[in-house]
Amino acid sequence: MNLLDRLAQLNFQLPDVSRPGGSYQSVNVRGNIAYVTTQFPVWNEEFRFQGKLGDNLTTEDGYKAAALCALNVLAQIEGNVGFKHVEGLNHIDIYYVGDGTWDEAPKVANGASDLFAKVLVDKGKHSRAIFGVAHLPSNFSIGLTASFTLLSE
């Protein structure tokens, strides 16, 4: 499967790949695992979905935010490793910022899980962690960290 063809087929577009703002890698490959730095709901250089779920953001906003994080993960993998080297997604950590009573995090996390399942099919199978944090950089409402197993050469 070619990732870009698959995305086009489903009418998804990849955002531009962000560059690291410090002495770390957006994607770090060690052995046969590619570790991806936390991705936020950024479209090219535009920051989206900042604030709190249940306050200025709805559950539907959160779903879209998580999907956009997932697209940024795919952009990083395609841009830094090449999806053709990927055996599959391992696990995702999803962080959310809520207003304290909002309790629809699993629905929001499905924004990322559904996208990985739809685009990557079997290679998109993953386990996940979801937890509500106190704060994310730049006031983002959602963040997503992932790792992938690479094909053995």
One residue of 18, 58, 59, 90 binding a copy of itself per CB under 8 A: 90
d(CA 123, CA 12): 17
Cα separation, 8 vs 18, in Å, equals 21
Binds a copy of itself by CB under 8 A, chosen from 19, 21, 44, 45: 21
Report which secondary-structure segment, H or E, holds 143.
strand 142-150
**Burial class (CB within 10 angstroms; exposed 0-12, middle 13-18, buried 19+) of 116:** buried
Residue from 14, 17, 81, 136 in contact with a copy of itself (CB under 8 A): 136
**What residues contact 43, with CB distance under 8 A and at least 6 apart?**
15, 68
Q: Identify which range of 9-17, 55-63, 67-75, 133-141 contacts a copy of itself by CB under 8 A.
A: 133-141
Binding mask 25-54 for a copy of itself (x = CB under 8 A): xxxx-xxxx-xxxx----------------
Q: Which residues bind a copy of itself (CB under 8 A)?
A: 21-28, 30-33, 35-38, 87-93, 95-98, 100, 102-103, 105-106, 109-110, 113-114, 116-117, 125-139, 143, 145, 147, 149
